[in-house]
Amino acid sequence: MDTAMPNHSRLSLYAHIGATLKLGLPLVGAQLAHLAINTTDTVMIGWLGTRELAASVLAFQGYFIFMMLGSGFAHAIMPMVAQASGTGHVRTARRAVRMGLWIVTFFSALAMAALWHFEAILVALGQDADVAALSGDYMRIMQWSLFTMLFTFVMRSFLSALEHARIVLIATILSAVLNAVVNYALIFGKWGAPELGLQGAAIASVASSALAFIILWVYALVVPAIRRYEIHVRPWRGDLRAFLEVLHLGWPISLTIIAEVGLFAGAAIMMGWIGPVELAAHGIAMQIISLVFMIPLGLSMAATIRIGSALGRGDHANLTGIALSNYIIAGAVALTSAAALVLAPEPLIRLFLDLDNAQSAQVFAFGTTLLAVAATFQLVDGVQAIAVGLLRGLKDMRVSMAFAVVSYWVVGMPLAYVLAFPAGFGGVGLWLGLAAGLLVAAIALTARFFWKIARFR
């Protein structure tokens, strides 16, 4: 797509919006399909009961922290491959992918120890003992999907940077379908399968992540345009320079991601202190707004690729247009989603609940309130996601990381605690604190990007 554009002629904003949508829509679709896996888990587990749902919320938040921490190294591949593709350096791209796979393998092996003892961690954090036990059993199976999940992220970054995003979408959809089928069979014992409850959902997650990786790996082996990168040749061969560059770019991305993910995971812990009903409602509301967030997140990846590719070609004239196109699309999505959360929260929440359950009415009422609060920060959440993607395209990682840490943990988390507990606003106050952290991040990161590109003018 970008390769067909004149290198140094300034494109119209309309042309940039079209280019961003053409690259971004498959990435958005892949993000939505990926989240559909966990959403399917949440919906089906919600049919089991409130405690099972609360346990799965805690387990997924714990798993998600490690998955996102490791995904920073996979995300580092995207600007490296985009810039290498822009300059025609096939070997540089190949080495980046190979070392990315090495690093996420080492990371996954180290993460297994902590995840194996997740029940004890939850008990130490003051969670209900029965919920912690259920969560621990779930985690001991689901944690094995971390390897293939991170392998998939590396391949997704590689293929997306080369503008082969459609196969990423296809692989993710197929894995989501497999997850739904295995979930239904193993959670509830359908079609002659054993009834395993939460453990069945965990097995489905392992199977679906493996399928996605296999599809992307085979695609890289058989499609001529991708096969020429030879990422499958001598995978044991190390490259110190590429290894260190992936580490150098990856760890700030990981910490930036974990700063935001940890903010919401910490919110889940604090919501658990309020009660299981509030925690279950928090989990449902998070699933709904996470689905919406996949749109700016996919656009953020498109921003990384387009900015990285433009820099690789030396096309500085279009950096501002690339950024504005992403902000305009994300803004339109944010306003639309905010309206939906305010005007029609009931049908969204009902998808996750068995209304015959005695506690469903309480979960439903509190979840509706949380979605109304979430509507107020859709715009700032989308803006900060786009800004992060733009800065990754510039390979500007460390300052972005510092901004994220300060925004989420110096502003967001303390304010969430104060509003929730000392100020007495409970779960609503907690979410307002999160919104404040996102607002500070959106302003700081956007200002950083436009300050950085000013030197190219």
Q: Are 392 and 78 in contact (CB under 8 A)?
A: yes
Checking if the pLDDT of 6 tops 70, the result is: no
For 137-165, write each residue's pLDDT tens digit. Answer: 888 888 899 999 999 999 998 998 888 88
Checking if the pLDDT of 49 tops 80, the result is: no
Range from 1-10, 280-289, 385-394 carrying the lowest mean pLDDT = 1-10
Structure tokens of 349? 């929440």
Percentage of residues in the chain having pLDDT higher than 90: 23
> Between helices 426-453 and 378-393, what is the axis angle to 10°?
30
* Residue in this structure with the two tokens 């609060």, named with its chain if needed: 373
Q: Are 395 and 79 in contact (CB under 8 A)?
A: yes
Q: Are 185 and 201 in contact (CB under 8 A)?
A: no
In angstroms, the CA 352 to CA 287 distance is 10
Closest among 359, 358, 356 to 367, alpha carbons compared: 359
pLDDT computed for residue 198 by the predictor: 81
Structure tokens of 70? 């490791």
In angstroms, the CA 71 to CA 150 distance is 6
Structure tokens of 197? 């409850």
In angstroms, the CA 1 to CA 450 distance is 24
3-class DSSP state for residue 321? helix
The model carries a pTM of 0.77
pLDDT computed for residue 2 by the predictor: 42
Average pLDDT value for residue range 104-111 = 92
Region of 192 on the Ramachandran plot (φ > 0 left; ψ -120 to 50 alpha; else beta): left
Structure tokens of 133? 């036990």
* Helix-strand-coil split of the chain, %, nearest 5: 85, 0, 15
Q: What is the mean pLDDT of the chain?
A: 85
